[in-house]
Chains A and B, each alone.
Chain A
Amino acid sequence: MTDEPLLSVEGLTTEFDTDNGVLTAVDGIDFEIPRGETVCLVGESGSGKTVASESITRIVPTPPGEVTGSVRFDGQEITSLSESELREIRGGRIAHVFQNPQDALNHCYTVGWQIVEAVQTHEPDTSEEEARERAIELLNDVGVANAAARLDDYPHEFSGGQKQRVMIAMALVTNPDLLIADEPTTALDVTVQAQILNLLEELQEEYSMSILFVTHDLGVVAQIADHVVVMYAGKVMERGTVEEIFDDPSHPYTRALLECLPGQARSAEGIPGTLPSPIDPPDGCRFAPRCDYAVEECTAGDQPPEEPLTDTHAVSCVHYQQGYDPSTVKTEFTQEDGTVTGGVSGD
């Protein structure tokens, strides 16, 4: 194993040509996914995290979408690949699991048919028999009870959690190096959510995969992430290890998100204001219009460059530049019961 990250994304930009103008959903973001680790892409709805995750293998519809920037996967630049070369990577070495398992399976075909299709897409020589054997194994592996008998059932005969298990089984067909999971638990109820998260963690070990996990749920992040990338309005606000993000949250946006967790100061009202328009974003820091600590410099020029705090921790905020005092934004967290801490994971 090399030290090179499995996936490294640089300047990834995804634009959509709409009737109202060019919509920039993802605006030049960088991040890396180390081998065997889990990176969480975090942000509120509309921050561009889903589009970013779907831009990696270009499953965003193009046109109207256009993806630019560099995506290096296992040492290979994949943005310049042709559609047919990309197809080999999609579902081959990079697999996807999506948010809403209710609609993610085709209701006209049995789950067995759909898993067999995934097998035969990447290994055309596999016979129907072998592919079905593999499907049964995988369904067993993801915890679908009585897999052999359920193979010829239709998606509507499965519960939401079971459907998500089927989706995961389908993603594992080719033993991928990277699993991109886009809010895979959001549509499920809480107990099922925990089961799916545990399953993903087990499978990550078993299949030695990296996972890119897209979510808005910081509780989930705390459970599974190794690294966290916080996105807002198409830009990266802060990145760091999970400990750094929870113990030393530095960007006002990250801090505001954490304050929205249950038991924290903003848990009831959330962050005031709304996301800026992706067609005509504000100058300066994207978060400045909603930021409690915004100063004049925050609303001019581009998004501030990322200031490294440690080897792994960086923040894109004016207050961390030279000549500013970070302590202005690092006010203490007030909990609902009045206790005051420096971070939210404080015990």
Chain B
Amino acid sequence: MGMEWYIVRRVAWAAIVTFIIVTITWGLMTAAPNPQVQQAVTQAAMDGENPAEAEERMEAQLQLDRPLHVRFMDYVVGVYTLEWGWSNTRNQPVTAALVSALYYTVQYSVPWTILTVLIGPIVGVYSAANQYSWRDHAATGVAFFGYAIPNFFFGIILLLIFGVQLEWIPIVYQTGVPVFSVQNVIQLTIPIFVLVTGSIGAIMRVSRNEAAEYANADFVKTAKAKGVSTYRIYARHVIRPTMVPLSTTMVGYLLAIFTGSSLLVEVVFGIPGLGRTLYDAVVAQDTNLVLGSTLFFTFVATIGNLLQDLVYTVLDPRISFEDR
């Protein structure tokens, strides 16, 4: 059996994982009191009506009086057919709210991810090739700075300097400008810069250390003895094995920042993206929207881990597909 069978099994497993997550979230939601029913009961009590009757009426209205398994099937079908319910605060379907938020998140996430994945390993390997030179020390300094400073704080500082003092960028994100326009590039530069400095540090350090280890490997000596140029040695013989442990760090790290730091950055810069949507939904107790955003982040994480496992097998042929 080869890689194809492994990929099929791995994708199937990812689907099972998402199903388990969907089931657990449903279980928690069902067990928790429904805010709409609670509200109806409170209202009835205050108006001098029968709270129990009001509860039944509301449950019937929300179709909560059906048997559990029917409600579960309904919910699961809803999740997989993208019918994620109605957002009360946004007055639109949850999916529509998420799509419009995703539109803004993608605008900074895609360039941010590409820059991190490109610059991180390259600078790391370059550092390893020039270990203990001033360039290496400079790169290390930048890495630790980005790693140490909280993203939201760095964002506020930059906003103060470039937005308030120099007035080069708008203080509040302008949703009206076209995606591919100079204004949009200008207003996204700082958020992307903040995120890249935050994510690149760990990746640079990991790739530097891994590459430094491989730079002294016997196979590098073989390549040198074959007459291969130093550039090619790093570009082909060192980067490839370096990417194997790095891909783990990278996917995990990018996902953590995607779900965590991006929220703070969106709040600081006023970008109405996914992180901001989740944040507002939590504050406003919009259950459907919270659930929808959570599910979305879960799917992103599952797909990220799936990609990581697949990338693994391509990068390091020694990883066996048989027993996993």
- Give chain A's interface residues, CB within 8 Å of chain B: 54, 57, 59, 83-84, 87-92, 95-96, 98, 100, 103-110, 117-118, 121-122, 154, 156, 167, 170
Contacts and interface: CB of A to CB of B under 8 A. Distances in A.
Nearest to B237: A106
B219 A106 contact: yes
Contact of A121 (B226, B315, B317): B226
Given A103-B219, A106-B237, A106-B240, A91 B315 contact: no
25 contacts: A57-B225, A59-B221, A59-B224, A87-B227, A90-B224, A90-B225, A91-B228, A98-B218, A98-B221, A98-B225, A104-B218, A104-B219, A104-B221, A106-B219, A106-B222, A107-B219, A107-B318, A108-B240, A108-B317, A110-B317, A117-B236, A121-B226, A122-B227, A154-B317, A156-B318
Nearest to B318: A156
Interface in B229-243: 229-230, 236-237, 240-241
B167 interface: no
A121 B227 contact: yes
Given A106-B241, A108-B316, A59 B225 contact: yes
B319 to A, nearest CB: 10
B33 to A, nearest CB: 55
Contacts of B229: 84, 87
A163 to B, nearest CB: 11
Interface residues of B, number: 21
B317 A91 contact: no
A315 B229 CA distance: 40
A117 B219 contact: no
Contacts of B227: 87-92, 118, 121-122
B222 A154 contact: no
B28 to A, nearest CB: 44
Contacts of A103: 217-219
B45 interface: no
Interface string B187-226: 0000000000000000000000000000001110111111
Which of A83, A87, A88, A106 has most B Cβ within 10 Å? A106
A104 B222 contact: yes
Residue with the greatest number of chain A CB neighbours at <10 A, chosen from B222, B237, B240, B315: B222
Contacts of A167: 222
A315 to B, nearest CB: 32
A259 to B, nearest CB: 33
A117 B317 contact: no
Q: Which of B219, B226, B236, B315 has the most CB of A within 10 A?
A: B226
B317 A107 contact: yes
Interface in B2-41: none
Interface of B: 217-219, 221-230, 236-237, 240-241, 315-318
A127 B315 CA distance: 25
Contacts of B219: 103-107
Given A88-B227, A108-B316, A109-B240, 7 more contacts: A54-B221, A83-B230, A91-B228, A95-B225, A103-B218, A117-B228, A154-B317
A117 B315 CA distance: 18
B225 A100 contact: no
A156 B320 CA distance: 11
Contact of B241 (A96, A104, A107): A107
Nearest to A83: B230
A106 B316 contact: no
Nearest to A102: B218
Given A107-B219, A107-B316, A107-B317, A170 B241 contact: no
A100 B318 contact: no
A96 B219 CA distance: 12
A117 B222 contact: no
Contacts of B226: 90-91, 117-118, 121, 170
B318 A154 contact: yes
Contacts of A98: 218, 221-222, 225
B209 to A, nearest CB: 18
Contacts of A118: 226-227
Contacts of A170: 222, 226
A54 B225 CA distance: 9
Nearest to A153: B317
A240 B237 CA distance: 41
B296 to A, nearest CB: 35
B224 to A, nearest CB: 5
B116 to A, nearest CB: 23
Nearest to A96: B225
A264 B237 CA distance: 46
A284 to B, nearest CB: 35
What 5 pairs across the A-B complex have the smallest Cβ distances?
A91-B227, A96-B225, A91-B226, A103-B218, A106-B219
A121 B222 CA distance: 13
Contacts of A90: 224-227
Contacts of A92: 227
A87 B224 CA distance: 8
Nearest to A94: B225
Contacts of B317: 107-108, 110, 154, 156
Given A105-B219, A106-B240, A107-B219, A91 B318 contact: no
A90 to B, nearest CB: 4
B94 to A, nearest CB: 44
